[in-house]
Amino acid sequence: MRWTGQEPSRILRTFYGFDRARDWDEFREASRYYGCPAQNFVYADVDGHIGMRSPGQYPIRANFTGRLPLDGASGDAEWSGWVPFEEYPESIDPVEGFVLSANQQVAPDHYPYYMGWSWDPGYRARRILEMLENDTSVTFEEFRAMQLDTLDVMAREFGPFVEQAVAGSCADATCEDALAVLSAWDFRMEADLAAPAVWWWFANHFREEIYGDEWIAADIVGRMLPMPNVVEHMLKANATSHWFDDVRTPTVAETWEDIAARAFDYTVDHLRMEMGDDVAAWRWGDIHTRELPHLLQLGGLGRGPYPSEGDTLTVNVAPGDVASAGPSWRLLADLSDLDRSVGVYPGGQSGNPVSRHYDDLLRLYLAGEYHDLLVPGSAAEMPAASVESTLILRRP
C-alpha cells in the first residue's frame, strides 16, 4: 500500500511560513512544504489581494486512478512522479473579485493531472457562488448570512420533479399534507420546519431506490451510491435512463416517476412512524441534531445533541441525521480594520473541562452569533482589562 500521508513532509514549515508571510509570493512559497492531505488555502492581505492555492503531494499515476486495488507485484502501477509545485491549482486576484472553497472540484476537467474523484457534489459551492454573484456590497451582516445559509440547492433543483411525480398518487391525507408542505417550502433546512424532514428522507431514499436494486442484484454490500448531482443530471438530461428501472421486476419497466412515488410513500410512512400523523407537528430538528463529541470520544466531555438546521449540502453544513461534523470555525475578518474581526467555534478557548471557558462559545455558535476577536500586534498591545490569566511555560 502506498499513500501520500506516508511520504516525508515538512508541514510545520508551511504554517511557520504562512504565519510570517508578507505577501502572496511568500505565502505561495510556504505552501511548497505542505504534504497531506491536500487542502485549499485561501489568502487575503491588507493591500486588497485575494487568492487560493491547493497544495499537497499529488502522485502521477500512469494508467489508473487509484480507486481500486491493483497488482502491486508487477510494477505497472507504481507512481511515476509528483505533480510539479508550479502547476498546482491556484487563483490570484481573479476577475470575479472573490474566491470560494467548499470541497468542490478545484481544477477544470482539462487540467492535465489526475487529482482524485471523491469531491463534494458541488451544491454548497453553487450556493456560495450565486450569493457572491448576486451581492456586491459585501457587508459583515451579509457574510454572516452566507455562513449561516441553509438553502438546499439540490432540493430547489429537484422540487418540481418531485411534485410532478407524486401529485395525484397519494393514498391518504398524511401523504397529501406532506406533499403540500413540500410544495410551499422555500428550500431552507430550518430546524423548526416540517418540509426539510420530508425532503431529506425522500432525497436519500429516492437515491437508494434508483440504484439499490442493481447493488443487490450484483451482491454489492457497503459501496457508496452515486452522488446526488448524478441523479440531478439524470433527471434533467437522461430521464429515461435504465437506472430508473427496477431490475427485480423484469416484466415491468419502471419510470423515474414510479420510483419517486415509491420513495415518497416510504418517506411518509417512515416519518409518520417517527413523529405521528400530524404533518404540521413534524420538525426537522426533532430528527436532525448536532453532537459535539470529545476528540478522544470520552463520555461526558462532549456536548449535545442539539436540534439542528442545515444538512449535508447546505453552506451551514450539518451532515447526516446526527451531525458530528460541520463548521469548525466561523470567521469574519476586516483586513482594513482587524479589530472589527469576529469569530466563533463550537466549544471554548480552554481544553480543561472544569474551566468556564471549556464550552462558553457553544451558545453563540448554536445561535449563529459571533464573539469579538482580539488581534493585538504584540503582547504589549493586549488590553489589560482583557487579560484574565497568564500561562508561563518554563524549561525544566
In a shared domain, residues 313 and 228: yes
Chosen domain end from 267, 292, 327 = 327
Task: Provide the pLDDT for residue 67.
Answer: 76
Chosen domain end from 303, 327, 351 = 327
> What span, in angstroms and rounded, lies between the C-alpha atoms of 80 and 117?
19
> What span, in angstroms and rounded, lies between the C-alpha atoms of 202 and 163?
12
> What span, in angstroms and rounded, lies between the C-alpha atoms of 336 and 353?
36
Asked if 194 contacts 287 with a C-beta cutoff of 8 angstroms, the reply is no
Query: Is 175 in a helix, a strand, or coil?
Result: helix
In a shared domain, residues 225 and 308: yes
**Nearest Cα to Cα of residue 199 among 243, 256, 236, 150:** 150
In a shared domain, residues 183 and 305: yes
In a shared domain, residues 96 and 174: no
Task: Provide the pLDDT for residue 98.
Answer: 92
Cell numbers for 380, please give them: 504589549
> What span, in angstroms and rounded, lies between the C-alpha atoms of 103 and 116?
12
In a shared domain, residues 336 and 232: no
Task: Provide the pLDDT for residue 119.
Answer: 85
Residue-by-residue pLDDT tens, the chain, 396 positions: 888 889 888 999 999 999 999 999 999 999 999 988 899 999 999 999 999 999 998 999 877 777 778 888 888 888 889 999 999 999 999 999 999 999 998 888 889 998 888 888 999 999 999 999 987 777 888 999 999 999 999 999 988 888 888 888 888 899 999 999 999 999 999 999 999 999 999 999 999 999 998 888 888 777 788 889 999 999 999 999 999 999 999 999 999 999 999 999 999 999 999 999 999 999 999 999 999 999 888 888 999 999 999 999 999 999 999 999 999 999 999 888 888 999 999 999 888 999 999 999 999 999 999 999 988 888 888 888 988 888 899 998
The DSSP letter of residue 225 is: P
CATH number of the CATH domain containing 71: 3.60.20.10
Torsion of CA 126, 127, 128, 129, to 10 degrees: 50
Task: Provide the pLDDT for residue 75.
Answer: 83
In a shared domain, residues 113 and 146: no
In a shared domain, residues 75 and 144: no
> What span, in angstroms and rounded, lies between the C-alpha atoms of 132 and 94?
13
| Residue type at position 198 | V
| Total tally of structural domains belonging to the chain | 3
Task: Provide the pLDDT for residue 115.
Answer: 84
CATH number of the CATH domain containing 243: 1.10.1400.10
Task: Provide the pLDDT for residue 205.
Answer: 94
**Nearest Cα to Cα of residue 7 among 79, 112, 111, 113:** 79
In a shared domain, residues 134 and 271: yes
In a shared domain, residues 110 and 148: no
In a shared domain, residues 114 and 126: no
In a shared domain, residues 140 and 104: no
Give me the residue label for grid cell 459551492. Answer: 125
Cell numbers for 217, please give them: 442484484
Chosen domain end from 296, 327, 358 = 327
Angle at 372 between CA 366 and CA 376, to 5 degrees: 140
Asked if 359 contacts 347 with a C-beta cutoff of 8 angstroms, the reply is yes
- The whole domain housing 112 covers 4-119
In a shared domain, residues 255 and 340: no
